[in-house]
Structure 1
Amino acid sequence: MASLAQLASQWNISPELLEELSKYATPTGLADYSALAIIAGVSGAYLSRGYLWDQPDPYAYLAYERPQLKNGGQAGANASKETRNIAQKLEETGKNIVVFWGSQSGTAEGFAHRLAREISIRWGQDSMTADLSDYDPISITEIPQSKLALFIVSTYGEGDPSDNTAEFWSWINKAGDISLSNLHYAAFGLGNTNYKFYNRVVDVVVEGLDKFGAKALMPVGKANDAEGATEENFMTWKDDLFTVFKEQLGFQEVEAKYVPSLLVQEDESLEPIDLHHGEPHGSSEGSKGNQSSAVRTLSISKSRELFTSSDRHCLHMDLDLTSQPDLTYKTGDHLAIWPGNPDAEVELLLHVVGLSSRSDIPLHIKAVDSATKVTIPSPTSTNALFRYYLEICAPVNRDNVRDLAQFAPTPEAKSYLLQLGQDKDYYANVINRTHLNLGRLLQLACPGQAWSNIPLSYLVETLPHIRPRYYSISSSSVVSPRKPSITAIATTTPLPDNSDELIHGVTSNYLLAISQHAQSQPHPHGIRYHLNGPSDALQGGKVFAHIRRSKFKLPITGKTPLIMVAAGTGLAPFRAFLSERCQVQKIGKEVGQMILFFGCRNPAEDFIYREELEEMQNTLGDKLRIVTAFSRKEDTPRQYVQDRVSEFGDDVVKLIDEGGSFYVCGRAGMAREVEKAVGATMAKVKGWSEDEVNNWSKAVKKKNKWQEDVWG
Structure 2
Amino acid sequence: MEAFLRSSPKLAEVAGTLAPRTTADAATVTTVALVAAAFLLREYTWDRPDQYRHLWYERPQDDGGLGPAKQRATRNIARRLEELNKDAVVFWGSQSGTAESLGARLGRELQQRFHLDTLVADLSDFDPASIAEIPRHKVAVFVLSTYGDGDPSDNAAEFFDWFRRQAMDKANSHARPLGSLRYAAFGLGNSHYQHYNRIVDVVTEALQQLGAERLLDTGKADDALGTTEEDYVSWKEVLFSRLCQDLHLQEHPVTYEPVLSVIPDSSLEPIDLYIDEPVHSSDSRSSTNKNTPNTPIHYLPIRSARQLCSSSVSSPSEAQSGCLHMDIDLADHPQLRYKTGDHLAIWPTNPAQEVKRLLDMLDLSEQGKRDQPLLIKSLDPTVKVKVPTPTTIDALLRHHLEICAPVPRDTIRRLAEFAPTTRARDFLLDVGRRKDAYLAFTSVTHVTLGRLLEHALTMGADAAAHGEPAAAWTRLPLSFVLEALPRLQPRYYSISSSSIVSPRMPSLTVGISSTRLMTETQTPVEIPGLATGFLRDKATLLEQGPVSVFAHVRQSKFKLPALASTPLVMVAAGTGLAPFRAFIQERLRLHNIDNGGNSKPVGRMMLFFGCQSPERDYLYGDEMLEMQRQLGDKLSIVTAFSRAGDPAADDGDDKVSLPRGKTYVQHRIAEHADAVAEMLSDGASLYICGRASMAREVGKAVTSAVASSKRWDAQEPRAWLQGLKRSRKWQEDVWG
CA deviation profile, 1:187-213 (whole Å, cap 9, x unmatched):
001111111111111111111111222
Task: State TM-score, norm by structure 1.
Answer: 0.88
Distance 2:163 2:603 in 1: 41
Distance 1:41 1:695 in 2: 60
Question: How big is the shift at 1:288?
Answer: 2.2
Distance 1:392 1:211 in 2: 42
Provide the residue aligned with 1:677 in structure 2. 701
Provide the residue aligned with 1:305 in structure 2. 307
Aligned pair in 2 of structure 1 residues 225, 574: CA closer, same or farther (>3 Å)? same
Secondary structure of 2:247's aligned partner: coil
Distance 2:699 2:68 in 1: 49
Provide the residue aligned with 2:44 in structure 1. none
Instruction: Tell me which of 77, 86, 103 is aligned to 1:95.
Output: 86
Provide the residue aligned with 2:49 in structure 1. none
- Larger mean CA deviation between 623-632 and 280-289 belongs to 280-289
Provide the residue aligned with 1:440 in structure 2. 451
Mapping 1:348-363, distance limit 5 Å: 348-357=357-366, 358-363=369-374
2:263 matches 1:261:
no
Secondary structure of 1:223's aligned partner: strand
2:348 matches 1:339:
yes
Mapping 1:282-681, distance limit 5 Å: 282=280, 287-290=286-289, 291-309=293-311, 310=313, 311-357=320-366, 358-447=369-458, 449-497=471-519, 498-520=522-544, 540-587=546-593, 588-636=599-647, 637-681=661-705
Question: How big is the shift at 1:312?
Answer: 2.1
Provide the residue aligned with 1:190 in structure 2. 188
Aligned pair in 2 of structure 1 residues 75, 102: CA closer, same or farther (>3 Å)? farther
Distance 1:215 1:194 in 2: 31
- Larger mean CA deviation between 288-297 and 99-108 belongs to 288-297
Aligned pair in 2 of structure 1 residues 697, 72: CA closer, same or farther (>3 Å)? closer
Provide the residue aligned with 1:250 in structure 2. 248
Q: Which amino acid aligns with 2:701?
A: A
Distance 2:481 2:494 in 1: 33
Distance 1:423 1:639 in 2: 43
Provide the residue aligned with 2:96 in structure 1. 105
Secondary structure of 1:125's aligned partner: coil
Distance 2:643 2:197 in 1: 34
CA RMSD of aligned residues (A): 2.8
Instruction: Tell me which of 145, 153, 170 is aligned to 1:162.
Output: 153
Aligned pair in 2 of structure 1 residues 75, 189: CA closer, same or farther (>3 Å)? farther
Question: How big is the shift at 1:499?
Answer: 5.0
Q: Which runs of no fewer than 5 residues in structure 1 stay unpaired?
A: 44-60, 521-538
Instruction: Tell me which of 188, 207, 212 is aligned to 1:214.
Output: 212
Provide the residue aligned with 1:534 in structure 2. none
Question: How big is the shift at 1:160?
Answer: 1.4
Aligned pair in 2 of structure 1 residues 9, 638: CA closer, same or farther (>3 Å)? farther
Contact 2:575 2:690 in 1 (8 A): yes
Provide the residue aligned with 2:275 in structure 1. 277
Contact 1:287 1:293 in 2 (8 A): no
Contact 1:105 1:467 in 2 (8 A): yes
Distance 1:196 1:8 in 2: 76
CA deviation profile, 1:580-637 (whole Å, cap 9, x unmatched):
0100100111111111011111211111101110110011001111111111111442
Contact 1:261 1:368 in 2 (8 A): yes
Aligned pair in 2 of structure 1 residues 71, 698: CA closer, same or farther (>3 Å)? closer
CA deviation profile, 1:384-418 (whole Å, cap 9, x unmatched):
11011110001111111111111101110000011
Distance 1:459 1:389 in 2: 12
Secondary structure of 2:101's aligned partner: helix
Aligned pair in 2 of structure 1 residues 383, 656: CA closer, same or farther (>3 Å)? same
Distance 1:98 1:167 in 2: 18
CA deviation profile, 1:125-184 (whole Å, cap 9, x unmatched):
121210101001111112122211100001123321111111111221223556222211
Question: How big is the shift at 1:245?
Answer: 2.4
Q: Which runs of no fewer than 5 residues in structure 2 stay unpaired?
A: 33-51, 314-319, 459-469, 594-598, 648-660
Distance 1:676 1:616 in 2: 30
Instruction: Tell me which of 49, 73, 81 is aligned to 1:82.
Output: 73
Q: Which amino acid aligns with 2:179?
A: S
Question: How big is the shift at 1:661?
Answer: 0.5
Distance 1:91 1:38 in 2: 62
Contact 1:69 1:76 in 2 (8 A): no
Question: How big is the shift at 1:10?
Answer: 4.3
Distance 1:166 1:38 in 2: 51
Mapping 1:48-197, distance limit 5 Å: 73-74=64-65, 76=67, 79-175=70-166, 179-197=177-195
Distance 1:571 1:410 in 2: 52
Contact 2:362 2:474 in 1 (8 A): yes
Aligned pair in 2 of structure 1 residues 508, 83: CA closer, same or farther (>3 Å)? same
Distance 2:376 2:325 in 1: 39
Distance 1:378 1:420 in 2: 34
Distance 1:334 1:510 in 2: 18
Q: Which amino acid aligns with 1:288?
A: S
Aligned pair in 2 of structure 1 residues 484, 178: CA closer, same or farther (>3 Å)? farther
Distance 1:577 1:399 in 2: 46
Distance 2:152 2:25 in 1: 64
Contact 2:61 2:385 in 1 (8 A): no
Distance 1:293 1:465 in 2: 19
Q: Which amino acid aligns with 1:516?
A: T
Distance 1:682 1:421 in 2: 52
CA deviation profile, 1:202-257 (whole Å, cap 9, x unmatched):
11111111122211110101111111111111111111111212334321111111
Question: How big is the shift at 1:40?
Answer: 13
Secondary structure of 1:638's aligned partner: coil
- Larger mean CA deviation between 76-85 and 292-301 belongs to 76-85
Distance 1:673 1:286 in 2: 35
Aligned pair in 2 of structure 1 residues 257, 325: CA closer, same or farther (>3 Å)? same
Distance 1:383 1:286 in 2: 26
Secondary structure of 2:323's aligned partner: strand
- Larger mean CA deviation between 613-622 and 241-250 belongs to 241-250
| Regions of 4+ moved over 3 Å | 1-11, 35-43, 68-72, 74-78, 282-287, 496-499
Aligned pair in 2 of structure 1 residues 243, 586: CA closer, same or farther (>3 Å)? same
Identity %: 49
Contact 1:122 1:255 in 2 (8 A): yes
Distance 2:334 2:351 in 1: 31
Secondary structure of 2:275's aligned partner: coil
Provide the residue aligned with 2:45 in structure 1. none
Distance 2:63 2:327 in 1: 40
Question: How big is the shift at 1:5?
Answer: 6.3
CA deviation profile, 1:643-662 (whole Å, cap 9, x unmatched):
11111111100100110000
Contact 1:99 1:128 in 2 (8 A): yes
Q: Which amino acid aligns with 1:439?
A: G
Question: How big is the shift at 1:327?
Answer: 0.9
